Structure 1
Amino acid sequence: MKIIKFFLIIFFIFPINSLKADNEALKSKITKNLRCLVCQGQSIYDSDSEFANSLKILVDNKIKEGLSEKQIYSYFQSKYGDWILYDPLFNKNTYFLWLLPLLIFFLGGAIIFNKFLKKSK
């Protein structure tokens, strides 16, 4: 009987711990992508300011409410604007931000290609 109780306790404890681990991993991922508005260049995860600590608690509460990562990001975007995200979503306001590196890459490749063509002639 003691063995059955032991296995039941183990069975109920481990899934709860795995859920907590998943929530902590999600919280860590989200807070690393949120910019601290008080500190310069630090994420919420790295910062120890009061603002960052309050946002960490808010992210934890939003996760406990069952919101997804995308929903939490959209909540913070609506409250603080696009600047709070280190990795902003692809939308009409961020086309330039996302497409500029590709444009520079292709432009640089075209310049290098032209240099090689001129050298070979």
Structure 2
Amino acid sequence: MKYLPALLVMMTSSAAPALAQSSLPPARYADRQLQDPAQEAEAKKLMETLRCLVCQGQSIADSDADMAGDMRALVRQRIAAGEEPEAIRQWLVERYGAWVSYDPPVEPVTWPLWAAPLILLAGGLWLARGRFRRKTR
């Protein structure tokens, strides 16, 4: 009887991923390409630069998540309506934040992120210089 709460927690937490799947049908253009090959190429190029909000490590072009399918459908619908890819990207960034783009903007807030590799490289070279320099005494 003392293990009952732990057993209930384990049972409900293991069922959560199964309950997270949507029972709704996918959006019309989630997995269907546009009829115009030029528009589809433009949509595909844009989709490869947008991050899936669920998977976080995949682009919406590669992800199987329902949210990525909805975002693919949205991109294709807007491309078919004649919107420019950059306008669509801006709309998605305004809606979901700069994190949705694989190409984050260079702003004062992100300067440390852009400068960190250069600083670490310079520090490593400085340490290596001191390590490999001949001792002159």
1:49-64 map, 5 Å: 49-64=65-80
Match of 2:86 among 61, 64, 70: 70
Taking only the aligned residue pairs, the percentage that are identical comes to 36
Residue segments in structure 1 that go unaligned for 5+ positions in a row:
1-19
Equivalent residue in structure 1 for 2:102, among 86, 90, 109? 86
**1:93/1:70 CA distance change after superposition, 3 Å:** farther
1:7-86 correspondence runs (5 A): 20-86=36-102
Task: Give the unaligned 5+ runs of structure 2.
Answer: 1-35
User: Do the aligned partners of residues 110 and 67 (structure 1) sit closer, same or farther apart at CA in structure 2, a change above 3 Å counting?
Assistant: farther
Partner of 2:126 in structure 1? 110
2:122 and 2:41 map into 1 onto residues whose CA distance is 37
The aligned residue for residue 26 of structure 2 is none
TM-score by length of 1: 0.68
Letter of the structure 2 residue corresponding to residue 41 of structure 1:
G
Q: 1:81 to 1:109 in 2, by over 3 A?
A: same
Separation in 2, partners of 1:103, 1:110: 11
Aligned-partner Cα distance in 2 for 1:22–1:91: 33
CA gap of 1:25–1:90, structure 2 versus 1, over 3 A, is farther
Structure ranking higher in helix proportion: 1
TM-score by length of 2: 0.61
Label 1:65 to 1:40 Cα distance change in 2 as closer, same or farther (>3 A).
Answer: same
Q: Measure the CA separation in 2 of the matches of 1:67 and 1:107.
A: 46
Cα-to-partner distance string for 1:25-84 (whole Å, 9 max, x where unaligned): 332222122121122422211112221111111112332344433332221111001221
Greater RCO between the two (CA within 8 Å, min separation 6)? 2
Deviates more, 1:102-111 or 1:60-69: 60-69
